[in-house]
Structure 1
Amino acid sequence: MSVRVPFERFLAWEQTTHDTIDFKKIYVDMAGDLVSGLMLSQIVFWHLPNRQGESKLRVQRGGHLWIVRKRTDWWEDCRITPKQADRGLAILEERGLIVTELGKFNGAPMKHLRINEAGFIAIWEETLEGISILTKGAIPIPQEGKWISTEGEDPFPPDRQVDLDHPDNSLLPEITTETTPERSFERDQQVVAELVLGISREFGDTAPERSIQTRALRIWKRSRLPVSEFSEIVYQARATTRLYQGKQQAGGAIRSKPAYFFEVLESLVRLNERG
């Protein structure tokens, strides 16, 4: 006859057990996926110094320190199956958060991985800024099909217009709200968010919609351009991405067209700022 364990005993165990993972929610936002975010959290843990201030990483290759893990190791680390690990690493690499290489370890070929510092910091800052802006209400949140700015002053002058005669205006959302300074700015935010989202999805971007739109609005905010001028830069980035893809050798391809598109877009915005 089994003896029932009192629930209080479980609660005591729960409060004292060290069988935990320090998992920050921002890693899910950065990766755009729960499992990938958990893997990113674990990768960050390995990059943190130990209690003596020394690196946990021991494998050196090509001037970098690497993590070496088998597909089956992830289950012991954070309860991720080999199949989930394969998918998660592919997502993290496509997002530019990590770099992977196949190399020998103890005489056998094994996957080496490390954080791509430049890409990681860029997405971390972008995500952190997006969370802050969304919390303060400076970026619109969709409600019943409309975009609204929840509080605070608009970061741009409200007299923005959309070039509806652009040959690719099929990507622009239909705007039916009345024309007031507040509505005009809200409309412009919607146009930018939907335009960039549509093109990014066109290139196969699987990141969450909110993540893509937050990134688009952040870039637009930095550009301080009217919607019509910013839209031209977006279309130029789109054309450049297509052109570069077309110049690849037979069988070749841009590793991540969405990432390349955003890189081109941000580069064009920087060039415009200097001009």
Structure 2
Amino acid sequence: MTDSPAARLQKLFEGHRLTPTQRRIAHCMVRGAAEVPFLSSVELAELAGVSQPSVTRFAVALGFDGYPALRKYLREVAPAEPPRAPGQTEQNSYQQAVHAEIENLRHLAEMLADPGPAEEAGRLLAGSVPLPVLGLRAASSQARGFAYFAGKVHPDVRLLDEGGSMLPDRIDAAAGAGATALLCFALPRHPREVLDALEYARSTAGLTVVTVADSAFAPVARHSDLLIPAPVGTGLAFDTACAPMLLGRVLLEAMADALPGAQARLESFDAKAAARGLFVE
């Protein structure tokens, strides 16, 4: 399978120690991978919200003589635009958003060709009892969905989907009850409260933080022990998060594989649900 533009950019950035400003540029480039090879340094700076000299320093940090050399490289590795079929009309904005999301899923599939990180995450989550699952604002639905299904195979899942001064207390309570890891879903825009919570979970509560984020260069990266990226769609007024949701289900599968007795718990739930007439067949 041919790497997507976003996947090639991720590989380009791997192994480089980037400053927070440079990570912001990298994140911006990954989100706009198809357009970036055709942007000037000034346009990229405006898109990323940084200065033009920062873009130049970023290109040098990646090993290029300057931004023109980086852009030339990106144009050489960018795929040619597929020809439009005869009679095919230009896609409307809704179709473009759907196709962009399909590309995000392809990118996720390419990344999962190496199952190691997902399997490691599964072992960490399975070994933590209780298991706190954090997701605020835009990421709250991802955290809630994971916690709902995880509760069917994991003995003690604790959903943390509300911020405020009690969030550190709930992290402390989970750690005090035996938790060793925390799963975080982090999507843009990234609340400062999430960064504070992850820092607290690692430095004070001593938890290992596993994070699903929209990019390996997201602000939560420096507060995560294991971060697995899944891009979001940006073609509509509000971001779409099909890839992060699917990655969450993948981590559920990996966790269930690492949990002794997971299948027995599922069968027990199904038997009780049938006895209660819980679902309409």
TM-score normalised by the chain length of structure 2 = 0.21
Q: Which has the higher contact order (CA 8 A, sep 6+)?
A: 2
Larger CA Rg, structure 1 vs 2 = 1
